Amino acid sequence: MTFKPVRKAVFPVAGLGTRFLPATKAIPKEMLTVGEKPLIQHVVEEARDAGIEEFIFVTSPSKETLKRHFDIIPELETVLEKRGKKELLAKLRPTNIAAGKLKTTYQNEPLGLGHAVWCAKELVGREPFAIILPDVVIATKTKSCLAQMVDAYNKVGGNMIALNEVPKSETNKYGIIAPGNIDKNIYEIKGMVEKPKPEKAPSNLSITGRYILQPEVFDYLDTFETGAGGEIQLTDAMAKLIGTQPFNGIVFEGKDYDCGSRLGFIEANIAYGLADPEISDDVRKILDKFR
């Protein structure tokens, strides 16, 4: 059976980034760098690896820098070419998004992730689409996390989210799923619970900031119902889809870093520094000094 291809990805980037103030007063949180690249570039490259053709940023007027990061700047490339800076050019080229392939829409008020996704409704249309949260960066050995999800989606269709095994004692920090049937690393999802206490958690599988959803999710987001924290929650709309459509999750190969928190951000930078052959030995030496 073939399923409608996933061609579009939505990047919700309209949040205020309050946990990183004052750093994020003038610079979007998604422009903070992990390793050599801003967070937004990590996730755009992840989407590209998954075959995504159209990139949709749900942003706010004060965050134009995010779009500018993906502009093609011929003057800069010409200078680098003239100077023979091949390596720099190779680093720059992944930031180029072809004309017409980056679309933006504004979320005028950060009313929650569900609302941010709803803002992309017209740009997505009636086809399956991906959502990637840029504050979760995922390091993988081969295929990107979204590419693994697209592979799984192409086999089983429906809705697909990324799952991560977390320690049972920490389920109260995450959205946790109630699993049904399992086929290798793909779990049927029977329900979702926001931050359950360990003794009440239906599993230790957490929802990890990557989603492939069917357009019917917009029908539920249309109601503008608020949930936890008075925000319009994506989880609430997804929970309503369960039972009406196939809903699965994949335990992906890779390590995710929660770069929306200061600690996760530091951990990600250490991990990417250690994985960078140009500087890894020196990073290790620096870390040794702090033992």
Residues in contact with ligand UTP by the rule CB under 6 A = 12-19, 29-30, 58, 107, 110-113, 115-116, 133-135, 260
With contact defined as beta carbons under 8 Å apart, do 249 and 163 qualify? yes
Query: Closest distance between ligand UTP and the C-beta of residue 23, in Å?
Result: 11
* CA–CA distance, 148 with 159 (Å, rounded to integer): 14
User: Considering just the CA atoms, what is the radius of gyration of the chain in Å?
Assistant: 19
Q: Which of 70, 119, 122 is nearest to 98 (CA)?
A: 70
Closer to ligand UTP by CB, 14 or 193: give it.
14
Min CB(256)–ligand UTP separation in Å? 13
| In the complex, least distance from residue 16 CB atom to ligand UTP, rounded to whole angstroms | 5
- Least separation in angstroms between CB 34 and ligand UTP: 14
Q: How many angstroms separate the CA atoms of 117 and 107, rounded?
A: 9
Q: Is 107 or 204 the residue whose CB approaches ligand UTP more closely? A: 107
Structure token pair of residue 236: 């609430």
The CB-nearest residue to ligand UTP is: 15
What single-letter amino acid sits at 80?
A: L
Q: Which is nearer to ligand UTP, 56 or 283 (CB)?
A: 56
Closest CB to ligand UTP among 17 and 35? 17
Q: How many alpha carbons lie under 13 Å from residue 20 in its C-beta half-sphere? A: 24
